[in-house]
Amino acid sequence: MSGGGARRLRMRALTVVVVASNALGNAALDWGVKGLPGGIRLAPWALARAVFNPWVGLGIGLLALWMLTRMTLLSWADLSFVLPVTSAGYVATALVGRYVFGERVAGVRWAGTALIAAGVALVSTTRERTGSAVGETD
């Protein structure tokens, strides 16, 4: 495999990790917050207690992984590339909302999901780095 091909494969694999950790992290947070008695309040003590809920904790862990992998991706590619491509997370979140939490997803939302998927596909055909590229290898 050429250097450029390996780089692109590496980029796609990391993008999948970014998208999955974001969607699953949001879902875990949603599950945890909805299970808190009386919901969540912005008072420091209430927030600290929320963090010790196992699902909220799992969500925070997954979102920490999301942050580190996304920072790595931002060191490899433009923000204007990373943003649309990682928007696949919204599609994943809609699917989790529908099939894991049983939320009703209307036809118009499936149309939105299709548009996002088309946008992601379009942007993923562009060159990922156009600005100054310190340390770029290909």
Residues in contact with other proteins by CB under 8 A are 10, 14, 26-27, 29-30, 33-34, 36, 39-40, 42, 47, 50, 63, 67-68, 70-72, 74-76, 78-81, 83-84, 87, 90, 93-94, 96-98, 101, 103, 105-106, 108-109, 111-123, 125-126, 130-137
Give the torsion sign (CA, 25, 83, 137, 16): positive
Based on CB atoms, which residue is closest to other proteins, 2 or 44? 44
| Least distance (Å) between residue 28 CB and other proteins | 11
Based on CB atoms, which residue is closest to other proteins, 2 or 90? 90
| Least distance (Å) between residue 97 CB and other proteins | 4
Based on CB atoms, which residue is closest to other proteins, 3 or 135? 135
Residue given tokens 């947070």 in the structure block: 29
CA–CA gap between residue 52 and residue 70 (Å, rounded) = 25
Based on CB atoms, which residue is closest to other proteins, 21 or 120? 120
| Least distance (Å) between residue 29 CB and other proteins | 6
CA–CA gap between residue 10 and residue 40 (Å, rounded) = 39
Helices (H), the chain: 3-34, 44-51, 54-76, 79-85, 88-99, 107-123
* Residues whose CB is less than 8 angstroms from the CB of residue 17 and which lie 6 or more positions away in sequence, other chains included: 65, 69
| Least distance (Å) between residue 18 CB and other proteins | 13
Indicate the residue type of 53. N
